[in-house]
Structure 1
């Protein structure tokens, strides 16, 4: 006979087991995220797959892209609920480019979703809807917002991956070449492999009007393959970051204040005919925080 006491004991045991399972999975999640750090040879591959333009005769798809580079990915913050990874692109022996940044936040409830025209909409998520999930917050080279999405890491059959679909601005490879669409709906797959990790994308190029209605212009496939190599190959990036990290810590701190307001964000595309990253990239490593703060303030539409 199942007594109330036995039932409570069984329920407690099950709850403990579930809790342990969640903690064990979270540990696996963290290991997967942190494994993306290091020095990598990267192959960037993109090709437009389908076109839906009504003007099929004059429509010009983006050229297929195959590029390679060295990239150093270093952790800036590492705790049980937030991991921050900074990418540094090595374009040459003496040319380091501060590349994109990805923050991973556990059970995050504050989301900034790209809308269009340099505008991000803030939304508050329900705690129960993000239980066990990680939000990947991706930032532009100047640490301004790019795109965010929340999903669970999956560990099954020896595979470790994370999948999410979210809207984003045009990628840097296209924003100076294309003006016939204004939103890129990105299906991002981050998969950890034996040799590093892959960033696979199934993207949809959208024309979004002022009422928020979308027309599909084209689709695109992307596959960025990160193959881990010896850290010594990325020494130039490591040295550059040691010299410049204080400047960018100040920039991140300013953006943190902006994001903490939990309201929609709209940015100017250019100020004095220059993009935000152009202004910030010209600063010296020892530039005071007040200087970088003032630059960012000029781009935020009040």
Structure 2
């Protein structure tokens, strides 16, 4: 065998080895994402840190605990994993947030300010080996999206990304001194469940002006795995309602595909999206509306709350 043949064979072996390593890494990534599922005892903690103005008084420490959260896989195919969070509090099941993980995804819905969103396309090289985490709220409305690499090293498994978002639900009805939350989200697998750490900045954003940060914020959301039987009520609830929410997700995806930019309305006809979707959910559960009629009603509702805004310019 001549030198050229030896080099060609060596290159081929290296390519095969790299491909095998990539497949192993991809399997590790998927396992880490799905490892966040289960019945969890949850604690949400937030405190403001490092104000930029000496006259600003941090709002203090906020903690919510004593609740259960059931996290389940909704979809797992084509390098896409959707996780649904269901909160059990006060004896009730509340559809919580949704995580849509997509491998080497190039299309992101980016937040600007004041409920304005824009679709962007990233270069393929920028997302190679990365996972996009698309986060949606209680009505599957957009919250934030970011792309990063899952890291598996030194016995640790974590993912971290920074993206802009609207005000969190714990503040959007009580605060008007900032309009963008720049979130650095860190998800890490632990031997007892997982932790979602946040290092956030509360930002004032105005057209044509430089962003102004008023204060930082630290968040630690802990998910401690407990007996699956404790979340049976949430499992039963999801069994009865998952088809409805599949239609809602499909409606949102259709809306994003049809519009380059959208602005979400807080109320339409003096009703919030949450109240309208809650009514539709109950009608679907009671079989008062189904099939094509239900899907049409969902899509009409979403369009009413998501107006197109073609002139929007996103700051990144």
What is the 5 A alignment of 1:203-214? 203-211=200-208, 213-214=210-211
Shift of 1:261: 3.1
Aligned to 1:231: 228
Q: TM-score, normalised by structure 1?
A: 0.95
- The residue number in structure 2 matching 1:299 is 305
Task: Tell me what 2:99 maps to.
Answer: 102
CA displacement 1:76-101 (0-9 Å, x = unmatched): 101241000010110122x1111000
Moved segments of 4+, more than 3 Å: none
Give the equivalent residue in structure 2 for 1:271. Answer: 268
Please report how far the alpha carbon of residue 129 of structure 1 lies from its aligned counterpart in structure 2 after TM superposition. Answer: 1.2
Partner SS state of residue 296, structure 2: helix
Aligned to 1:82: 80
The 2-side partners of 1:191 and 1:174 are apart by 25
Change (3 A) 1:40 1:10: same
- In structure 1, what is the equivalent of residue 240 of structure 2? 243
Structure 1 residue 260: Cα displacement: 2.3
Contact 2:37–2:73 (CA<8 Å) still a contact in 1? yes
Where does 1:138-287 land on structure 2 (aligned, <5 Å)?
Answer: 138-211=135-208, 213-261=210-258, 263-283=260-280, 284=282, 285=285, 286=287, 287=289
| CA apart distance, 1:33 | 0.2
Structure 1 unaligned segments of length 5 or more: list them: none
Q: Note the C-alpha offset of 1:244.
A: 1.3
SS of the aligned residue for 1:252 comes to helix
Residue 258 (structure 1) shift: 1.4
Question: Tell me, what secondary structure is at the counterpart of 1:116?
Answer: coil
* CA root-mean-square deviation: 1.5
User: Which residue of structure 2 aligns with residue 27 of structure 1?
Assistant: 27
Shift of 1:247: 1.4
Query: C-alpha separation between the residues in 2 aligned to 1:90 and 1:211?
Result: 44
Give how far 1:60 is off: 4.5
Name the CA shift for 1:43/1:52 in 2 (closer, same or farther; >3 Å): same
**Scaled by the length of structure 2, what TM-score is found?**
0.91
Match of 2:52 in 1: 52
Task: Quote the residue 2:311 is aligned against.
Answer: none
Q: Give 3-state SS (helix, strand or coil) of 2:53's partner.
A: coil
Q: CA separation of 1:273/1:194 partners in 2, compared to 1, >3 Å: closer, same or farther?
A: same
User: Retained in 2: the 8 A contact 1:113–1:121?
Assistant: yes
Identify the range of structure 1 (220-229 vs 77-86) with the bigger mean alpha-carbon deviation: 77-86
